[in-house]
Structure 1
Amino acid sequence: MTRTPLRLTGLLLALSQLLAACAGAPARPSALAAGDDAAVVRHMEAWLAHRMRSEGITGLSIAVVDGPRVVWAHGAGLADASARLPATPDTVYRMGSITKLFTATAAMRLAEAGRIDPDAPLTTVLPALQMRDRHAGGAPVAFTARQIMSHHAGLPRDLAGGMWGDTVAPMQSVLPTLAGIDTAYPAGQVFSYSNLGFTLLGLAVEQVSGEHYATHLERTLLGPLGMRTASFTAALPDNAARAHRDGRVVPEPALRDVAAGGLNASVLDMTRFMIAALDPEDRLLPQAAHGTMQQAQNAGNPLDLDLQTGLGWLLNMPGSASPVGAGPVIQHDGATLHFSSRLIALPAQRLGVIVASNSAGAGPTVHAAAAYALELFLEARKGLRATSPVGFTAREQPWQPEELAQWPGDYSTLAGHVRVSRDGQRLHADMAGTRFELIPDSQGRAGLRYRLLGLVPVPIGRFGEIALERRQISGRDVLIAHAEGGALLAGERMRPDGRAPGPALTGRYRPQAGTPEAALIDHVDVFEDAGVLLSRSVPSATFGSDAPAVPLRRLDARRVEVLGVLAAGGDVAELSEDGRQVRFSGMTLEREQ
Structure 2
Amino acid sequence: MSPKLLGLPLLGILLSSLGCNGQPPAPPVIAPGDYASIISYLKQYIPREMAEHRVPGLSIALVDGQELIWARGFGFADQARGLQVTENTAFRAGALSQLLTATAVMQLVEQGRLQLDAPLQDSLKEFYVRSRFHQDQNAADQAVTVRRLLSHQAGMPAEYLRDSRTPQALNELPRKVSGVWLNNAPGTRTAPSNLGYALLGAAVERSSGLDFEMQLQKSLLRPLGMSQSSFIGGSGAQPYRTQGYTDGSRSNDVLVRDLSAAGLWSNPRDLSHFVRMLFAQGSYKHQALLSPASIKEMVRPQNSGNPLDFDCQVGLGWFLSPCGDEWVNPGIGTWQRSGSGDDFHARISVLPEQQLAVIVMSNSGSGAALAQPLVPQILRMLQQAHGAPEGMQAGPVQQGCVQHDSGQDGSVPNGSVLDSPVVDSPVLRSSVQSRTDQKGSDQNGSDQPSPRRRVPEAADRQHLAGFYATTWGVLRIKDQDQRLFGELAGTRFELLRDEHGWLRAQKKILGLWQQDLGDLGRVQLDVMNVQGNRVFTAKRHGQLLAMGERIDPVPLPDNWLAMVGTYHALNDDEANAPLNGVSIALEDGFLMIRSLQQGRTLTDYILAPVDNAHAVIAGHGPGLGDTVRRQVNGVNVLGYSFKRIYTPHYLRF
Q: With the length of structure 1 as denominator, give the TM-score of the two structures.
A: 0.91
What is the letter of the counterpart of residue 291 of structure 2? P
CA displacement at 1:500 relative to structure 2: 2.0
Using the alignment, how far apart are the partners of 1:296 and 1:346 within structure 2?
16
Using the alignment, how far apart are the partners of 1:253 and 1:536 within structure 2?
24
Higher mean C-alpha displacement, 111-120 vs 213-222: 111-120
Higher mean C-alpha displacement, 384-393 vs 323-332: 384-393
1:14 is matched with which residue?
16
Higher mean C-alpha displacement, 525-534 vs 234-243: 234-243
What is the letter of the counterpart of residue 330 of structure 2? G
- 1:410-429 alignment, distance < 5 Å: 410-429=467-486
CA displacement at 1:192 relative to structure 2: 0.8
Task: Note the residue ranges of structure 1 that are not aligned, 5 or more in a row.
Answer: none
Using the alignment, how far apart are the partners of 1:567 and 1:196 within structure 2?
11
Select which of 513, 518, 531 maps to 1:456.
513
2:58 is matched with which residue?
60
Select which of 614, 626, 643 maps to 1:590.
643
1:405 matched to 2:410? no
Name the % identity.
Answer: 30
- Contact in 2 for aligned 1:2/1:550 (Cα 8 Å): no
Higher mean C-alpha displacement, 245-254 vs 218-227: 245-254
Select which of 539, 556, 559 maps to 2:611.
556
CA displacement at 1:505 relative to structure 2: 2.5
1:271 is matched with which residue?
272
1:529 is matched with which residue?
587
Using the alignment, how far apart are the partners of 1:335 and 1:567 within structure 2?
14
Select which of 393, 397, 400 maps to 1:385.
393
Q: Is the alpha carbon distance of 1:170 and 1:368 closer, same or farther for their aligned partners in structure 2, counting shifts above 3 Å?
A: farther
CA displacement at 1:98 relative to structure 2: 0.6
1:253 is matched with which residue?
254
1:212 matched to 2:172? no
CA displacement at 1:519 relative to structure 2: 4.4
Count of residues in Structure 1 that have an aligned counterpart in Structure 2 = 582
2:112 is matched with which residue?
114
CA displacement at 1:510 relative to structure 2: 2.5
2:535 is matched with which residue?
478
1:155 is matched with which residue?
156
- SS at 2:133's partner residue? helix
Select which of 374, 389, 392 maps to 1:369.
374
Select which of 296, 301, 324 maps to 1:296.
301
CA displacement at 1:516 relative to structure 2: 2.5
1:506 matched to 2:514? no
CA displacement at 1:162 relative to structure 2: 0.3
Select which of 569, 574, 582 maps to 1:516.
574
CA displacement at 1:234 relative to structure 2: 5.0
- Contact in 1 for aligned 2:282/2:289 (Cα 8 Å): no
Residues 170-194 of structure 1 deviation map (CA, whole Å, 9 limit, x = unaligned): 1123222223421111111211110
CA displacement at 1:169 relative to structure 2: 1.3
Using the alignment, how far apart are the partners of 1:93 and 1:563 within structure 2?
35
- Contact in 2 for aligned 1:326/1:346 (Cα 8 Å): no
Residues 22-76 of structure 1 deviation map (CA, whole Å, 9 limit, x = unaligned): 3224132263333333332233222221221122221110111011111121211
2:432 is matched with which residue?
none
What is the letter of the counterpart of residue 271 of structure 1? S
Q: Is the alpha carbon distance of 1:99 and 1:8 closer, same or farther for their aligned partners in structure 2, counting shifts above 3 Å?
A: closer
What is the letter of the counterpart of residue 533 of structure 2? R
- Contact in 1 for aligned 2:506/2:521 (Cα 8 Å): yes
1:280 is matched with which residue?
281
What is the letter of the counterpart of residue 11 of structure 1? I
Q: Is the alpha carbon distance of 1:89 and 1:30 closer, same or farther for their aligned partners in structure 2, counting shifts above 3 Å?
A: closer
- Contact in 2 for aligned 1:500/1:557 (Cα 8 Å): yes
1:190 is matched with which residue?
189
Using the alignment, how far apart are the partners of 1:126 and 1:151 within structure 2?
18
Using the alignment, how far apart are the partners of 1:134 and 1:58 within structure 2?
46
1:202 is matched with which residue?
201
2:48 is matched with which residue?
50
Using the alignment, how far apart are the partners of 1:178 and 1:138 within structure 2?
20
1:305 is matched with which residue?
310
- Contact in 2 for aligned 1:317/1:485 (Cα 8 Å): no
CA displacement at 1:160 relative to structure 2: 0.6
Using the alignment, how far apart are the partners of 2:129 and 2:365 within structure 1?
34
- Contact in 2 for aligned 1:411/1:567 (Cα 8 Å): no
Task: Note the residue ranges of structure 2 that are not aligned, 5 or more in a row.
Answer: 397-404, 410-440, 443-449, 647-653
Q: Is the alpha carbon distance of 1:526 and 1:28 closer, same or farther for their aligned partners in structure 2, counting shifts above 3 Å?
A: farther
- Contact in 2 for aligned 1:252/1:338 (Cα 8 Å): no
Select which of 69, 72, 80 maps to 2:70.
72
Higher mean C-alpha displacement, 370-379 vs 68-77: 370-379
CA displacement at 1:522 relative to structure 2: 4.6
Q: With the length of structure 2 as denominator, give the TM-score of the two structures.
A: 0.83
Using the alignment, how far apart are the partners of 1:440 and 1:559 within structure 2?
40
- Contact in 1 for aligned 2:226/2:270 (Cα 8 Å): yes
Q: Is the alpha carbon distance of 1:524 and 1:62 closer, same or farther for their aligned partners in structure 2, counting shifts above 3 Å?
A: same
Q: Is the alpha carbon distance of 1:237 and 1:107 closer, same or farther for their aligned partners in structure 2, counting shifts above 3 Å?
A: farther
- Contact in 2 for aligned 1:133/1:183 (Cα 8 Å): yes
Using the alignment, how far apart are the partners of 1:144 and 1:25 within structure 2?
49
2:84 is matched with which residue?
86
